[in-house]
Structure 1
């Protein structure tokens, strides 16, 4: 089962890169590649019954490709939402630049701020006065 998870993760990365490529080229062959990868991802999503299949990636791909081509009214909203969902910072910035989207504020830094600890010596045994 770990192979399936790793395979679907790499397929998801390939789908995001295909969307980036379509954003740059807007070529029909690249759009078809996005659609093929989306169909494969949906196929991995499983099937509940013979008539009910998983369509998330195909539906999302068609919306994104239409937005990239400039067809729907809320192009900026669709592209902004997708851009915010991209976890890899370099891919997010590349997609935002290619799509002409203003990237949202980056996630706050995970470095901890040093806070001033006024009770630094609390709990230590008291010493007598020091003589100079």
Structure 2
């Protein structure tokens, strides 16, 4: 019997799955969809220690998400909004929302902006003007 996966390993695999969904949203390529499905199968395999209902959670979610990304189904926008809200990394959430056409992600963009500009020039020596 294999040992349970580390929390860090599971987190990395989950992030790889989210990135694969982003890639599929950008390319709509069938090979990228198959990559999403493969990662979902691996996540489901790692989560077998939970209840039987969760055995195929990531595969079912992947199927729903890929169909929603293609615009299939009445609730495609709701599925995408829900998934976007579950992405904990602000830059990935912004990229995914942009790729699928979700607008109004103001809190994400302001969080990224404030992080980027904080103490930008702190510790740098002052420059003297160069005379030509």
- Aligned counterpart in structure 2 of residue 9 of structure 1, from 8, 11, 15: 11
Residue 130 of structure 2: aligned partner: none
Residue 89 of structure 1: aligned partner: 90
Structure 1 residues 98-122: Cα deviation after superposition (integer angstroms, max 9, x where no partner): 000124452797xxxxxxxxxxxxx
- Aligned pairs (5 A) from 1:1-132: 4-46=6-48, 54-106=55-107
Specify which structure has the higher proportion of helix: 2
CA distance in 2, matches of 1:52, 1:84: 23
Structure 2: stretches of 5+ with no match in the other structure: 112-132
CA distance in 2, matches of 1:27, 1:35: 13
Structure 1: stretches of 5+ with no match in the other structure: 110-132
Count of aligned residue pairs for this structure pair: 108
Residue 117 of structure 1: aligned partner: none
- TM-score, normalization by structure 1: 0.73
CA distance in 2, matches of 1:103, 1:26: 23
- TM-score, normalization by structure 2: 0.73
Change (3 A) 1:48 1:12: closer
- Aligned with 1:106: secondary structure? helix
